[in-house]
Amino acid sequence: QPHLLSYLKCIYALKLAVQVRPLLFTVMPLRLARLLRIFWNSKGHTNGVLIATTTGDSTGSFTVNATIPKGYAPGVYYVAGIGQTSKFIATYKYTIYTPTLALAPVKGSANTTLTVSAYGFIGLETVDIFWNNGSTPLASATTNGFGCLIPTTVTVPAAATPGGYSVKIVGRTSQLAITNIYTVLAPSSNLSANTGPAGLNVEMSGQGYAANETVHIIWNYTGPGTGNDIADVTAGYSGTIQGNFTVPTAANGAYSVAALGATSNSITQNAFTLSNGLGTNPSSISPSQSGTAVGSGFQANESVKLYWNDTSSIALATTSADANGNISQAVTIPTSATPGSNTLIGVGQTSGSTFSAPVTINTNWGDFGFDPAHHRANPYEYGLGAGNVAGLQPKWTGATAVGLKDSPVYANGIVYIATMDGLLNAYNATSGVLLWSFNPHSTFRNYSAPVVDPATGLVFLGTVGSNDEGIPSPYYAVDAQTGVLQWSEILNWHQVSFPTVAFKTLYLGTSHLDHNSCSIYAIDEVSGQIRWQYTTDDGFWGAIGVDTNTNTIFSGVGNPNAAVIALNATTGAVVWNYPVPQYGPDDDVGSGITVTKGIVYASSKNGSVYALHEDSGTLAWSTPIGQDSNGDISTQAVSDNGTLYVGTISGNLYALNALTGAKLWKTHAASSIFSSPAVANGVVYFSSFNKIYALNASTGAILWNYLTGANSYSSPIVVNGWLYWGSGDGTFYGFSL
């Protein structure tokens, strides 16, 4: 006979709460007209506070409203429904969140836009936003049904001088007050290098300028009206600046480089010493890439040879100095270049003058998909390959919470991974030393991957609220070197999809199992300001692909409708929509999107891989690789040789011809493949059940595998001769030879 225990999951309660929040419970079906009591903070048949009594209706179902009692601190509590005749019990875990106010950004200029969001209020109550403990609110807004204030913008007072100011939100009904601190910054700037030769590319970054104003970079500034304007940059939404200039040809010596705000007239200065020497643009580069060697101090018009690490080796290039003794020459980095510190050496063939420049060999995998287009293929990997991958060994491990499902990313010597207990960990990529751990103190789980942008020095992290599927959830931006919070924002629903960075914009999608309206957000990286938002009744579950050449982003859609969509990256306007066939109730496009050579690739849980024409969204081909409605959700990887790799829940890794969709080979693994493959230097890597595999990318032959203690959903990455990957037992691995 049916009883309450059979319908434990049918008790439904909103989970964003402070005290005195109304709840709605629904259970069906029950025996007709049976009495039921609802207890708060239940610990058994008699413990707890009675908050409602009800009787099943003529259909055997009931709906009842109840209110959380006052005086309970944030934490986890059990709500129990107890049948008064049967004594059967059903329980539901209810979370009272710690009231939280998020600011985006946490610091910036006066008279700029500040985005505030919060949770912990009563649903649909009016809240007032106050600045610096003032009595007149900057703005008022209304919370949603969860008691969450969705991102709302206010203007930082123009008269605010540098320093810290309180931002407070007060609920008119609940009288709940939440406070955070916003710091107004004084103008400042710095240079990436303070000495070097003519032709060197130098980055200037700064803060404290007026939002969106033009900032002039002035060489040899000695006072108003002096110097040469050598570059212009535009300040961001929060008054930050980031731009580059080329050191001009001039006499050796000390110069002042100024940043002058065209609107604010704010000016900051930095010293730069022009000197003889050698430099490279850029100073950090991957094997086989081309850079530019610049130098000064050679004899006029003499021949100059450029060497890699050792002058006894074959010269990378030969060039001629100009009449001032300066050089500028393109050089291609050897494929054999060792990751880490290296040296470029320039030798004048007549004068014998020798100068050297440090060069860092490094390849970043800062995005889940390697790049915004989500190839999940590293074309600059030469350390690991089919000939030596069998020698991979774990060189270090990091311990995280059990149940690890996240995928790592890497940039500039640091590898990042989010954990199932809400942390973002940063490890030294070669030693495995934990450099820092960002703890947002929310205990919200993380399912996808962070994304790091070396250009802005920020790493981004999404969450899934509490233990529920779809509660409004915080999103964070932290400093990539220190883990210090730069901004946070509470977005509707959860972030299972993988974020992508392009155009200094963060693109991410939200999702919800109950088919509520979900969104793709375009968020300014530095300030956290939402540039645009595309909303539909469907969820966004996979990684968003970006074609930076066509200014278009692509996303899969699912629950209830399945499709692949293309949006304008600047405006969010729909370019096209391709409906994907559904043979079952959960046949959404759960994979990330890959775009290359005019084709958009997506994998559907209906068991097929789709290739669409990027310009029109029309079908190029589709290939079934799994059973209908069996949950094939692996994000595909595509190599430079035109092969597409994708895994299935049935345990097969397929290689497909990317042009035609023809099956080239398949390899069966131990069990279901829940991770996405990665390709590097002729090897494809993926995990299945509790193993990680390395396969010959041309034949599918298994070259190496490693056994761990639990199933894995983590997708591996391969950079600089290292393989990084996480196991469901909570262990994060760094493998190398």
Between CA 89 and CA 27 the distance in angstroms is 12
Q: Which of 90-94, 336-340, 510-514 has the lowest mean pLDDT?
A: 510-514
Dump pLDDT digits (tens) for 126-152. Answer: 999 999 999 999 999 999 887 889 999
pLDDT at 8 over 50: no
Q: N- to C-terminal Cα distance for the chain?
A: 61
User: Mean pLDDT, to the nearest integer, of 42-58?
Assistant: 78
Instruction: Give the residue, 271 or 448, on which the prediction is more confident.
Output: 271
Tell the residue number behind the tokens 């070259």, with chain if given.
703
Residue 466: which pLDDT band, with cuts at 50, 70 and 90? low
Between CA 237 and CA 109 the distance in angstroms is 9
pLDDT at 629 over 70: no
User: Mean pLDDT, to the nearest integer, of 234-256?
Assistant: 97
Predicted confidence at residue 16, as pLDDT, reads 38
Instruction: Give the residue, 31 or 252, on which the prediction is more confident.
Output: 252
Token couple for 95: 């979370």
Decide: 732 and 397 in contact? Cβ < 8 Å: yes
Q: What are phi and psi of 491, to 5 degrees?
A: -105, 150
Q: What is the mean pLDDT of the chain?
A: 90
Q: Which of 6-20, 158-172, 521-535 has the lowest mean pLDDT?
A: 6-20
Q: Which of 349-358, 463-472, 550-559, 653-662 has the lowest mean pLDDT?
A: 463-472
Which string of DSSP letters, residue by residue, matches 172-239?
Answer: TTT--EEEEEEEEPPPEEEES-SEE-TT-EEEEEEE-SPTT-EEEEEES--STT-SEEEEEEE--TTS
Residue closest to 736 by CA, chosen among 328, 293, 410, 281: 410
Dump pLDDT digits (tens) for 307-335. Answer: 999 999 999 999 999 999 999 999 999 99
Residue 460: which pLDDT band, with cuts at 50, 70 and 90? very high
Please state the CATH superfamily assignment of the domain spanning residues 188-274 in this structure.
Macroglobulin (MG2) domain (2.60.40.1930)
pLDDT at 656 over 70: yes
CA atoms within 13 A on the CB side of 601: 29
Token couple for 631: 């949950």
Claim: this prediction has a pTM higher than 0.85:
yes
The angle formed by the CA atoms of residues 380, 386 and 392, to the nearest 5 degrees, is 90
pLDDT at 462 over 50: yes
Which string of DSSP letters, residue by residue, matches 248-295?
Answer: PP--SEEEEEEEEETTT--EEEEEEEE-SEEEEESSEE-TT-EEEEEE
Predicted confidence at residue 18, as pLDDT, reads 40
Predicted confidence at residue 628, as pLDDT, reads 67
Predicted confidence at residue 277, as pLDDT, reads 97
User: Mean pLDDT, to the nearest integer, of 579-594?
Assistant: 86
When mean pLDDT is compared over 62-66, 82-86, 594-598, the highest value belongs to 594-598
Q: Output the CA torsion sign for 671, 674, 675, 676.
A: positive
CA-based max dimension of the chain: 103
Coil, strand or helix at 89: strand
Q: Residue 424 belongs to what H/E stretch?
A: strand 424-428
User: Mean pLDDT, to the nearest integer, of 532-552?
Assistant: 91
User: Mean pLDDT, to the nearest integer, of 635-657?
Assistant: 93
Fold topology of 100-184: Immunoglobulin-like (2.60.40)
- Say which amino acid occupies 388: N
Decide: 622 and 564 in contact? Cβ < 8 Å: no
Predicted confidence at residue 230, as pLDDT, reads 98
pLDDT at 11 over 60: no
pLDDT at 201 over 70: yes
User: Mean pLDDT, to the nearest integer, of 344-364?
Assistant: 97
Architecture of the domain whose range is 4-96: Sandwich (2.60)
User: Mean pLDDT, to the nearest integer, of 510-531?
Assistant: 86
pLDDT at 677 over 70: yes
pLDDT at 438 over 70: yes
User: Mean pLDDT, to the nearest integer, of 500-525?
Assistant: 87
Instruction: Give the residue, 625 or 56, on which the prediction is more confident.
Output: 625
Residue closest to 654 by CA, chosen among 631, 675, 677: 677
Rounded alpha-carbon distances, angstroms, from residue 141 to 133, 147, 170, 344, 668: 18, 12, 10, 58, 55
Between CA 274 and CA 296 the distance in angstroms is 10
